[in-house]
């Protein structure tokens, strides 16, 4: 598994699609190839009123 500090915009959109498909963070981490902790942290840290959105997250 890769241990990058930040996700690329491509990874964020992939995560977004997998989340919309109903996958859990550990399942998403297996698909993207990263540890589940950064995935969960992304969802917690960058959640707005309308939920986590990859474009908003990329801008931050």
In whole angstroms, give the CA distance from residue 48 to residue 36. 21
What is the rounded average pLDDT of the residues 8-19? 88
User: Looking at the predicted structure, is the pLDDT value of residue 38 above 70?
Assistant: yes
CA distances from 27 to 14, 21, 34, 47, 50 (A): 12, 11, 10, 19, 23
Residue 21 — very low, low, confident or very high, per pLDDT cuts 50/70/90?
very high
36 closest CA partner among 19, 53, 21: 19
Tell me the pLDDT band of 44, cut-offs 50, 70 and 90.
confident
For the chain, give every domain's residue range. Answer: 9-59
Quick check: 2 pLDDT over 60?
A: no
């Amino acid at each position: 598994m890769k241990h990058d500090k930040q996700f690329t915009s491509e990874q964020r959109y992939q995560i977004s699609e997998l989340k919309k498909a109903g996958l859990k963070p550990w399942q998403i981490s297996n698909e993207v190839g990263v540890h589940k902790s950064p995935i969960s942290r992304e969802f917690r840290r960058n959640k707005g009123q309308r939920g986590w959105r990859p474009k908003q997250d990329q801008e931050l």
